Amino acid sequence: MSVITIKEQCDNAWKMINSGDFIGAEHVANAMLADLGKNPEKNDDVFRIYDVLAFSYIYRGMPKDALAYTFIMSDIADFLQNPSYQFKSNNILCLLHQEMSLIDKALEYGNRAYQLATESNNKKNLSTITGNLGLIYSSASNDQLALTYLFEAEQTAKTLDWKDHLATIYGNIANVFSKHSDYVRSLEYFQYSLEIHEANNNIKEKGRVLGNLAVVYLALSDFPRAISYFEQALEIHEAVDYKRGVLSWAAGLGDTYKDVGDFSASMKYYNKVIEVNKDVDDKAMEAKIHNSLGDLALLGGTYEDAFLKYSCSLELFNTIHSKQGMLETTISLASLYSNPLASYFHPEKAIDTLNESITICKTLQLKASEMNCYKILAELYEYLKDWENTTIFYKQYFILKDEIYSRDAEERANNFDFQRITDKAEKEKQIELVKLREKENLLHDILPSGIADRIVLGEKTIADFKDNVSVIFMDIVGFTPISQALSAEIIVETLNSLYSKFDDIAQTFGIEKIKTIGDAYMAACGILDEDLEHKEKMVAFAFSALDIAQTISFADTYPISLRIGIHSGKVMAGIIGNKRFTFDIWGDAVNVAARLEQSSEANKIHVSHDFLSNFNEHNSYLQCKALSRGEVNIKGKGQLKTYFLQKME
């Protein structure tokens, strides 16, 4: 086979790679190797063939498979003493090791490539490797040095008028700013990058930028846009079989749906990541998914599973020396230690861990993580009734929150789509109108209707005092051992089915669900408008919930029994937050209802003597009678005379 023939076939294989036919290019390269026989001579032709093979895997996001072929390329380059080949193979080895989170090895090959580019005074190679070293130093959490290299690469690429490479550098600079919550400059550089990739019709790189934009919108809690951009990026990278991108954007969708409370959709995307990663073997992604699954378990109240997932994530991040990954997982573990409902509740350990994490966050300038630490600490001190520290950490939290979610960042984020597609202004206007309606509908879904209306009308501070409100707490008996015996997916699906039915019947009785905490369900009646029958409606709701629970079980194996407590009295109600709205209630009635639930028994409705005052046992909703339980010690109230309610046939 002549030299020209092999070169022509390699050129054709590269055309296949550039068109997205990576498997076809792989087959062409393997056919050429087969024709050359075993142990082919180390020459230019063989280097070109292995170059094709390596990139047929690199472009699919499969660095481990590409690595073996690149080592062969490096061996041939050293044998031929060809500086151009040596630079190329070392540069590729640098990036492959970075993708596999082997940062020390990546820097070793990167510095070797930098030396080769400097010695040959090849400006294009210098721009390439300085940009790649910037990417690696960012992975190593040395972002000051990362930006130094990236800005140097940017200037060289501008001198060379090398648009494709310049777009890549802009994207990497944007990611560094995004990492440090500087969303204004992040969006600015993403816009530069996207404009070039769209002009050059570089579909794969456009998908990468869209996915990274979704990460910014997720950080800004703009969930509809985050989902839209993640979906676009995922569709592009699935079409071009770029597995690395598929991993990233499927994980992003899992995180977004987790944040909006759609655990079923979240789990679907996390499972997709796990399946695709069997081919890619990305240790950093494996660690990240364990952390995310730990979050899901924590939200679902399966605390043992959460602890195991977090511990596995921490071990994996430690293995690959990922400082940021270890930090994020350590903060997740601290949130578990600070949860009073978990058996791992350990306030002192949580406080020490979070204070240490804050120091690391400040060193690495990770503002979003630092803000999260302040929030967890403030909520923990609030639970411990340490009001001085509660105030200190809430103040730190809000100061940093205002800094991160600046007006400029919001304005740039809100205007980004408009700037990108001014040629489709009318279509964009219609999309925005739909999004506005969806946002209003979402508010009505997650908040009481009257409260949502007040927010839509622009009311900033919502805080109401109510004199006569009934509050209910319901909890699943024996939930901890059940959660330890079953998967997180089964637990979440069953809880979702149960709570959805509770929501439906609550609406029938005019009762507002306040929140769920793990397996606990909290609701109130009379919270929005005065309701003279709030006690009777709440009792009727409680008996209906008991009936519903009898029809549902975990995995058709573990039946559900509820423990219920109800109390009534004065409460304060209001909205917390300005990004992720939360409607909550506070007061003595809430605390007593919670204590009554904790001291109740399986499938019993536990009420106080005060609750029975003015309660009509023979009302229009149902007839029941109160059976004295005697006096029960209620934390914070002392001995109270309490009763179990029994429905009369």
* pLDDT value for 616: 80
Q: What is the DSSP letter of 149?
A: H
- Token duo for residue 70: 């690149």
Nearest alpha-carbon partner for 316 in 273, 283, 282, 292 = 283
Span between the terminal Cα atoms of the chain, in Å: 94
Q: What is the pLDDT of residues 594-625, one digit of tens each?
A: 999 999 999 999 999 889 988 887 777 778 88
Residue 535 lies in a domain: yes
Q: How many CB atoms lie within 10 A of CB 168?
A: 24
* pLDDT value for 581: 60
Pairing state between β 638-647 and 624-634: antiparallel
Q: Do residues 337 and 352 lie in contact, with contact meaning Cβ atoms separated by under 8 Å?
A: no
Residue 509 lies in a domain: yes
The 10 Å CB-count burial string (b at 16+, else e) for 583-622 is: bebebebbbbbbbbbebbeeebbbbbebbbeebeeeeebe
Residues of the chain predicted below pLDDT 70:
1-4, 20, 61, 406-463, 575-582, 649
Residue 386 lies in a domain: no
Helix or strand run (H / E) with residue 326 = helix 323-337
Q: Which domain holds residue 500?
A: 461-647
Q: Do residues 351 and 530 lie in contact, with contact meaning Cβ atoms separated by under 8 Å?
A: no
Residue 341 lies in a domain: no
* pLDDT value for 529: 76
Distance between CA atoms of residues 215 and 413, nearest Å? 12
Place of tokens 């809880």: 495
Distance between CA atoms of residues 529 and 469, nearest Å? 10
pTM (whole model) above 0.95: no
Q: How many CB atoms lie within 10 A of CB 199?
A: 10
* pLDDT value for 421: 40
Distance between CA atoms of residues 638 and 513, nearest Å? 28
Q: How many CB atoms lie within 10 A of CB 221?
A: 15
Residue 411 lies in a domain: no
- CATH number for the domain including 520? 3.30.70.1230
Place of tokens 């600079």: 173
Residue 625 lies in a domain: yes
Nearest alpha-carbon partner for 635 in 593, 584, 572 = 593
Q: Please give the tally of structural domains in the chain.
A: 1
Q: Count CA within 13 A, CB hemisphere, residue 466.
A: 28
Distance between CA atoms of residues 361 and 253, nearest Å? 25
93: β partners: none
Q: How far is CA 147 from CA 135, 151, 153, in A?
A: 9, 6, 10
Residue 230 lies in a domain: no
Indicate left, alpha or beta for 385 from its phi (over 0: left) and psi (-120 to 50: alpha).
left
Residue 325 lies in a domain: no
